[in-house]
Structure formats: C-alpha cells, structure tokens
Amino acid sequence: MNGPSLRGVLAPVITPFTGGLAPDPGRFQRHCAWLLAQGCCGLAVFGTNSEANSLGQQERMDLLSGLAASGVDPARLIPGTGCCSLPETVALSAHAVALGCHGVLMLPPFYYKGVPDEGLFRSYSEVIQRVGDARLRIYLYHIPPVSGVAISVPLVERLLKAYPGTIAGVKDSGGDWEHTSALLGYAAQGLEVYAGSEVFLLRTLRGGGAGCITAGANVNPAAIDRVFRHWDDPSAEALQAAIDRVRVILQSHGPMIPALKAVTAHFAGDPAWRTVRPPLVELPGAQTQALLDDLMGAGFAMPGLAG
Amino acid sequence: MNGPSLRGVLAPVITPFTGGLAPDPGRFQRHCAWLLAQGCCGLAVFGTNSEANSLGQQERMDLLSGLAASGVDPARLIPGTGCCSLPETVALSAHAVALGCHGVLMLPPFYYKGVPDEGLFRSYSEVIQRVGDARLRIYLYHIPPVSGVAISVPLVERLLKAYPGTIAGVKDSGGDWEHTSALLGYAAQGLEVYAGSEVFLLRTLRGGGAGCITAGANVNPAAIDRVFRHWDDPSAEALQAAIDRVRVILQSHGPMIPALKAVTAHFAGDPAWRTVRPPLVELPGAQTQALLDDLMGAGFAMPGLAG
C-alpha cells in the first residue's frame, strides 16, 4: 500500500444486491465511478454502510478484485477488512495489500464485549504479523454504537508507537467530539483522523484532520467535498451548514442504510438499488416518499447518476 | 439431522489453541470425550464460550470434521453456526447437516444493531432456504448481552409457525427468567428450551424445558447432570444449590472464558489450556490462584481429566 495520503472525502460505498441477494458488481462499479467523479478522493468500500458485515469473505474479495479490474485505481481504495475472526481479517487485509489498496479500514473483533485494551492490542498485532507486509496501512475503525467495542485513545497511542509505519489513521464514528479531538492530538505524529460523519468535517479539518468517511458521501459527495476544499475560506461555515441540513434529513426518516439505498434508487431511476440484505429491511414506500420530499424541498439532487 | 431430542446438559466446549494461536484438535477431541464421559448428553461446540467467533470458517469445519472422525457421534453435536454474514452461516450450517449433526445453534447476524424482527425473520428464512435440507434443525441463540441482538418471543413464535420442522429450540442466555418462562410456553408445540446458565436449570426443567447449554458444563458437567437426572426428586434443590455455588465462584475472579481455561489447565496439569485467542486475554496468575483456592475450598474437582 502506498501513494500519498487520501485527504478529503471518502464514501463507505453502499453495496447493491440482485433480487436473489447476491452482490451486484456492475451497479457497484458504476456507483464507485460516479462517487469518484463527484469529488470523493477515495472509497472506503466495505464499511458499515456497505453492509459489509453481511458479506462473506469471498464476496468481498470478488467485489474488490472486480472494482480494481474495472479501472478504479486501487490507491484510492481503503476497504473494510475487520471481522470477528482473526483468519478472515488477515485474509481480507492480505488481499487488499496484494491488490495495491491505499490502506484498510479495520474494525476490532466485535463479538466479545468488554474486552481489555491489551486484548485489542494483541488482535491488531497478530493481524499485522500474519499479514507480514510492510505495505499494510491500517485505519482503525472506532464505531462503538454499532460494533460495541471501542478503540480507546490510549490503545491508538500504543498501536501508533508499536507500529508507526503501519497504523495510518483512525475513522471516528463514535459521535463524541471529545474523542475525535483527543485523536487529533496525534496528527503531528502522522495519525490521519477521519470524521465518521460529515457533520464533524469542518471541525476535524480545522483540528488538523484528514477528512471524513461518511454515509452521507454516498448521496451528497460533491457538497461534502466543497467543505473539504474550502475549509479555510470564509464560505466554509455556510457550506458546512448546507451539508448538515441534508444529513439531518437523511437521518430523520428511518435507518440510514435503507434510506441511502432508497435515495439512490430514486435518483438513478433504478428500483433494484432499494434491496438490502437481511437483517436489514428496505425503507417502506411512505417513508421513502417523505424522505424524498424533504430532500427535494432542500434542493437536493444526485446529478449524473445513472441506473 | 436426526435422532431423539438431546435433553440434558450440553457444554459449549472451550477451544484449545497452540502457542501459535492455531486451534488444537487433539486437546479439543480429548476434552470433548471427557465431557461426554462425565454426563454431558451433547456438545454445543462453537458457542460463545468456545471463542467460536474468533475462529474462521475453515477452522470450524476442520475442528468439527476432526471431532466426528475421532469417534464422537455427530448426533450428539449442536455446533454453533451463526455468523454476521449470510454465506458463512449457510456454509457452516450445511457442513453440520452433511456431517449428521443433531442440530445447529444459530446466532442472529449480530453486527447491525436495532434491526427489526422482520429483518431477523428474513435472515433465518434465507439461511433455511439456502441450506435447503429437511435435516436442518435450528436452535435459536438468544444472548443479547454479547450479541447485542435479541431474539424476541414473537420472532420465535413466527419462526416456529413458518418452519415447524426446522426450528427445534432456543438457547436462552439473556439472563432474564421472564423471557425463558415465556419461551417455555411453546414447549408443548415442540420448542426445546435450554437455559443458558446452570443457575436456571431446575426452573427450566420444572417448566418443561429440555436442559441447559452452559459455560459451567465445561468444568462441572457431572454435578450439573445430577440436577438434570434428579430434577423431580426431593434432592433437586440441594443439588441445584451446589452447582450455583460453583457457578458464582467461576464468575467472581474475572471473565468466564479465561477462567474456564485456567481451571481446565490446572486440573489437566496442562498449562497450554490457558491460551486464549485475542481479543481475550488469559487470566493472570494471581486471579487464577484465587479462583482455584475458592473452588477447591468448595470441594470442586475435575476427576479423570488428562492433559
């Protein structure tokens, strides 16, 4: 893994499924191309919003290989590779390294709760040693509301000291600005801090952070990228306020993943995008309409999106 | 999957690892044989206490195939097969069916939280359809303190109605007797209810339940089996009180899995048993000694256990 830092906006790309609930590589590749054309600096495929944890190891590998073969530069990819089990995390991470991905976004093992930092340190250490490749660059994925397992600031510090060339950054989806702020204290030591929601983007950038990896970038990438490009301008506050309004709407009509897919289905004119894998359930029609009404009332669109 | 109901005590067998953190089939098979010889009616290998969610798909398949090849009757096995991802759950369940296992213990997909019952119903339905084998018998695994995803009573009822020959039972590790009690209301419809801890065993049996699948059965199987065999005798209360005392001690000196392994290591005279896979951490020496002192003070032993 190599190349310069991916500073800017990354999308945790939503994963399309066929009617038979198989991943749909064609739609996936087209959506990835659209996101990059809209200003995303990179793609955090296989994030939480990608339903990645509902995908099998081979399904992830096939989608990633296919994406690279479709012409997307692997240096723009930070695929999620953190699973419950050590062998699966190692296999996915090694595959991403072999493909030349920029880095990997790695959840801690998340089945067992209340585990000590020492155990999480050993988990990451074991993965690093088993992958055994100096090109491995890990972005630690802190999302305790979903994973149930936090990555504490002392753990980040310990990992950064032990593996300075390998621990590249953190995605902070905890929703707690104090935690993000503490992590930004390590930016001078090379830690790239990504906000887990665009609502923290401006604050993150002003604190020395690298950008954001956010659900909202799936549907609103250009506007979020404008905040990134203008963070030091007088216009930044207004640009941030505009993306905040869209984010609030996206969150207000049901669970985020089905909502993102319903919005994408609408603007792509492609109902197949609504499909989610269980245990998720697609957004009901009435909620979808209310969501679209609110978004369009705010002037929202997804220009250039094709089915 | 076939054969009579496995009424009685099942152990979620602890999984031994080598110094290199690979599963150790030899120690695993010897421990399984000891558990069956001590009175376990069956083995719920790959449960929570087995660190199953830290094992990869192939590791689980190899351990299970090896166990059957070692002479353990597959009709006595209820392996855990529930993973986050649909393909992995399907692959493990199909493998267990093909080996002739009595049933499978199936967690709901557990990464995404706050999912609706409809989504969980679809998850189990999809697994049943993809396995596509009338021999499949599913024991639903309710353990919200760890999985973060509950299996509600209405969901159990709906699944039982939709798949009466396939939904065989429930393991209730929620720690809430009211939930277990509500599930026992479906015993007349064939639902086999297992308590998730031996502390609920007598109540579960008196309510028409099938037995228990419990961490404690890894180290105290004979005494727990005595409660099962004498539940309708005047002696039952005293037998239950005796296993309760051991359970309290097991829980009082640190996390359960490292504690079970430390106790096993001691009585087997085999320090290798202490090894856990990250993110767990083995029980420190001082805690181990305090735990052993308490257990031996209560007259506890693991007779016939060899390294």
List pLDDT tens digits, range B176-188: 999 999 999 999 9
Residues of A in contact with B215 (CB under 8 A): none
Of the candidates B24, B92, B28, B32, the residue with the CA atom closest to the CA atom of residue B58: B92
At residue A2 the predicted structure's pLDDT band, cuts being 50, 70 and 90, is very low
Q: Does A22 touch chain B (CB under 8 A)?
A: no
The distance of B85 to chain A (nearest Cα, Å) reads 4
CA atoms lying within 13 Å on the CB side of residue B4: 4
Both tokens of A232, joined, read: 């030091």
At residue B5 the predicted structure's pLDDT band, cuts being 50, 70 and 90, is confident
Predicted pLDDT at B2: 41
Read off the pLDDT of residues A35-53 as tens digits, 9 standing for 90 and up. 999 999 999 999 999 999 9
Read off the pLDDT of residues A127-169 as tens digits, 9 standing for 90 and up. 999 999 999 999 999 999 999 999 999 999 999 999 999 999 9
Q: What percent of chain A has pLDDT over 70?
A: 98
Alpha helices (H) in chain B, listed in sequence order: 25-37, 57-69, 86-99, 117-131, 144-147, 153-162, 177-184, 201-206, 221-229, 236-251, 256-268, 285-297
Residues of B in contact with A91 (CB under 8 A): 56
Find the closest chain A residue to B92 by CA distance: A56
Of the candidates A43, A15, A18, A39, the residue with the CA atom closest to the CA atom of residue A28: A15
User: What average pLDDT does this structure show over B23-38?
Assistant: 98
Read off the pLDDT of residues A204-258 as tens digits, 9 standing for 90 and up. 999 999 999 999 999 999 999 999 999 999 999 999 999 999 999 999 999 999 9
Q: Are A307 and A268 in contact (CB under 8 A)?
A: yes
* Yes or no, beta carbons of A56 and B86 under 8 Å apart: yes
Q: Are B82 and B109 in contact (CB under 8 A)?
A: yes
- Chain B, residues 270-289, CB within 8 A of chain A, namely 277-281
The pLDDT of residue B306 is above 80: no
Helix, strand, or coil (residue A279): coil
Q: What percent of chain B has pLDDT over 70?
A: 98
* Yes or no, beta carbons of B279 and A54 under 8 Å apart: no
Rounded to whole angstroms, the Cα distance separating B112 from A124 reads: 22
Predicted pLDDT at B133: 98
Between A58, A84, A125, which is nearest B84 by CB? A84
DSSP states along B100-152:
T-S-EEEPPP-SS-S--HHHHHHHHHHHHHHH--TT--EEEEE-HHHHS----
Q: Does A123 touch chain B (CB under 8 A)?
A: yes
Instruction: Give one word for B203, left, alpha or beta, with left for phi > 0 and alpha for psi -120 to 50.
Output: alpha
- For residue B73, the tally of other CB atoms under 10 A from its CB is 13
Between A55, A115, A148, which is nearest B148 by CB? A148
Interface contacts A/B by beta carbons within 8 Å: 129
Q: Does B122 touch chain A (CB under 8 A)?
A: yes
In chain B, what is the straight-line distance between the N-terminal and C-terminal CA atoms, in Å? 32
Predicted pLDDT at A5: 77
Both tokens of B111, joined, read: 């990464």
Both tokens of B52, joined, read: 């199953």
Q: Are A181 and A192 in contact (CB under 8 A)?
A: no
Average pLDDT value over all residues in chain A: 96
The pLDDT of residue A301 is above 90: yes
Read off the pLDDT of residues A269-286 as tens digits, 9 standing for 90 and up. 999 999 999 999 999 999
Read off the pLDDT of residues B113-127 as tens digits, 9 standing for 90 and up. 999 999 999 999 999
